[in-house]
Amino acid sequence: MFRQTLSSTRVLARSFRPQLIQRTAFLSLRGYATRKYTPEHEWVSVDANGVGTVGITEYAAKALGDVVFVEIPEVGTPVLQKEQLSAVESVKAASDVYAPLSGEVIEVNQELESEPSLINSSPFEKGWIAKIKLTKKEELDGLLDEAAYAEHIKE
Amino acid sequence: MHWYSRFSRKLVQQHRHPALTVLRQKCAVSYLSTVATLPSAGKVECYISKETDPWINLAFEEWLFRKSNSARYILYLWRNQTCVVIGRNQNPWKECHLKLMQDDGVPLVRRRSGGGAVYHDIGNSNYTIFMPRDEFDRRTNAQLVCRGLHQLDIPASVNERHDLVIGDKKVSGSAYKLVNARAYHHGTMLIDADLTALGRYLRPPPKNLVGKGVESVRSNVTRLREHSFTVDHLSFCEAVAGEFYRTHGVPWREPVELTVDHMKANPKVRDYYDEIRTWEWIYGQTPDFAHRLERSFRWADADILMNVHRGMITEANVSLKSERHIAVASRLSECLQGTRYSEDGIREAFGMLKEDLILGTRDLEELEELQEWLEISL
């Protein structure tokens, strides 16, 4: 269903807007609908089954520079909110990634092992790090929405 | 001489090198604009370690990093006894000559920041600058240290990898760590370190080792000693601290000395120390890799492939290409699985193998040969 909403937005946008603007509008629309953020630049997008997909934001990826290594968590690992989930390294900078929500890691993005640069090229899509089966959905309310995060990185 | 009595002496700027004037301009900051946005003096601190144990010094660093979650700027100065320090996501079997280090009693240390392998000894000084993450950028602090070197009349500059160089030779390597709202930038400074030892330990023998993780970038190096007869640890620390205070617009204050008593008084420092001394941290944090070894013995051709995860052999495939050794090869594959990728692990696996199978004198001799080769090949 999610996919359908996406593509219909895209089709709509394509018919009305020039190429460049269309893409930006499409991305932010979807962001408003699903994505939440931490002040430490992680994002999480939660589906109807209570599974949160986690990654780091475009802002963080840009600040880090070319990612050369991603420490991928292990499936089955229980994580608590604000506990370390993963770590990335970019041009001599090691940066810890924290779990935005508590739960259990049920899937990881193995692609990052051979292609860590996906974090830079596609931070919100192909550069996702892990999927967490949430155990405390109420924690989601404490995260930033798109507008609040945008405000946060402007500071 | 107590080190801080030297700190109080005013630095005399000399302009012997004409090149320095140009370099100074490149690294210059507008102090006026810095002063306008300055943090208050209370937010600037300076520490110097009196210890030379690399793990104690890294534990102090971690403690300074974690203890304040505020907008503080902290400078920490330290130096280590001879050791090799690898980056957070590096493979020590690939980056350094572990056998030589073991023979010479040189410890291997894994730090928490990124980057490549570096050699430390008492002729190498280190600096760490802690700052709010939002203020983090690779160049600013490299330039700060560079200005410190200019104070010592050393014509250094910052290169495109944000390392400090003199001419085209590196004198200082840098690495960074970002956690939540804090960041640090740290680096080495070759003052009069033993460059022969540096080359020896950082040039590993070739191995058929394939894995992820971060590889070191090799650079030609030089030392400050080649450009100054008088520079030493204390004058370097003094120059960097002076520049640090000046950049942040605060008057000179004696840096706080850190000693082993600090570790005793702070259980957290002890925890950080204990953690980075474990095998699980030093070797076990190595990104996954595979090691393939081949050798022809008189009695068989050996071809061994080991997959290593967190320092443990998770899969081993031993082929001895000889009918007589089929049982040994398959049992050895099983025994290697689940042991440490280390000499001890190999020894353990061969121990198990010898208990499991009934072997003749000839078999035992061959196994002995195989084991010895495996142990030295890691």
Contacts of A114 in chain B (CB under 8 A): 212
Give per-residue pLDDT as tens, B170-200: 999 999 999 888 999 999 999 999 999 999 9
Q: Do B196 and B212 fall into the same domain?
A: yes
The secondary structure element, H or E, covering residue B195 is helix B195-201
Q: Are B193 and B81 in contact (CB under 8 A)?
A: no
Last residue of a domain, one of B246, B263, B282: B282
CATH number for the domain including B370?
3.30.390.50
Given B176, B180, B288, which is nearest A93 (Cβ)? B176
Asked whether the beta carbons of A138 and A103 are under 8 A apart, the reply is: no
**Does the structure show a pLDDT above 70 at A113?**
yes
> Based on the domain organization, do B96 and B243 belong to the same domain?
yes
From B213's Cα to the closest Cα of chain A, the distance in A is 6
Same-domain pairing of B194 and B69: yes
Inter-residue contact A62 to A93 (CB < 8 Å): no
Residues B80, B218, single domain; the answer is yes
Residue A36 is classified by DSSP as E
B185 and B307 housed in the same domain: no
Q: How many alpha carbons fall within 13 Å on the CB side of residue A70?
A: 29
CATH of the domain at B92: 3.30.930.10
Q: A94 falls in which pLDDT band (50, 70, 90)?
A: very high
Strand order of the sheet with strand B182-190? A67-71, A84-90, A93-98, B174-179, B182-190, B124-132, B73-78, B44-49, B256-258
Type of residue found at A66: D
Query: Over the stretch A114-151, which tens digit does the pLDDT of each residue have?
Result: 999 999 999 999 999 999 999 998 999 999 999 999 98
The ipTM estimated for the assembled molecules is: 0.82
CB contact under 8 A, B114 and A39: no
Which CATH number is correct for A35-154, 3.40.309.10, 2.40.50.100, 3.60.15.10, 1.10.1530.10? 2.40.50.100
Cβ-contact B113, B88 below 8 angstroms: yes
| Average pLDDT of span A107-113 | 95
Q: Measure Cα distances from B345 to A5, B117, B339, B342 in Å.
A: 55, 25, 5, 5
**Contact criterion met (CB < 8 Å) for A94 and B181:** no
Looking at residues A68-73, what average pLDDT do you find? 94
Domain total of chain B? 2
Q: Do B206 and B331 reside in the same domain of the chain?
A: no
Q: In terms of residue numbers, what domain contains B361?
A: 289-377
Q: Decide: helix, strand or coil at residue A95.
A: strand
Query: Range with the lowest mean pLDDT among A46-60, A63-77, B17-31, B89-103?
Result: B17-31
Window from A28-42, A118-132, B22-36, B141-155 with minimum mean pLDDT? B22-36
Q: Which of B282, B306, B340 is the last residue in one of the domains?
A: B282
Q: Which residues of B touch A92 (CB under 8 A)?
A: 87, 113-116, 138, 161-162, 174-176
pLDDT at B356: 86
Q: Does one domain contain both B176 and B128?
A: yes
List CB contacts of B374: < 8 A, sequence separation 6 or more: B293, B304, B346
> What is the arithmetic mean of pLDDT over B336-348?
95
Which pLDDT belongs to residue B181?
84
Structure-block tokens of residue B127: 């600096």
Are B61 and B109 in the same domain? yes
Residues B275 and B343 in one domain: no
Mean pLDDT across chain B? 89
Tokens found for residue B23: 């370099």
As a whole number, mean pLDDT of residues B60-69 equals 89
Residue with the bigger pLDDT between B166 and B6: it is B166
pLDDT for B40: 52
Lowest mean pLDDT among A2-11, A80-89, B223-232: A2-11
B228 and B370 in one domain?
Answer: no
Of B282, B302, B334, the position where a domain reaches its end is B282
Does residue B218 sit in the same domain as residue B325? Answer: no
Q: What pLDDT, in 10s, does the model give residues B1-27? A: 344 444 444 444 444 566 677 777 777
For residue B124, the surrounding DSSP H or E stretch is strand B124-132
A16 band by pLDDT with thresholds 50, 70 and 90:
very low
pLDDT in tens, B251-285: 999 999 999 999 999 999 999 999 999 999 999 99
Question: Which 115-154 residues of chain A touch chain B by CB within 8 A?
Answer: none
Q: Residue B144: what pLDDT?
A: 96
Q: Which two tokens stand for residue B37?
A: 């946005």
pLDDT score recorded for residue B323: 83
B267 and B300 assigned to the same domain: no
User: Is B36's pLDDT higher than 60?
Assistant: no
Is A113 in Cβ contact with B214 (below 8 Å)? no
What's the whole-number mean pLDDT along residues B105-128? 97
CB contact under 8 A, A94 and B113: yes
Distance of CA A113 to the CA centre of its chain: 17
Minimal CA separation from A10 to chain B, in Å: 35
Does any CB of chain B come closer than 8 Å to the CB of residue A104? no
More confident residue, A1 or B357: B357
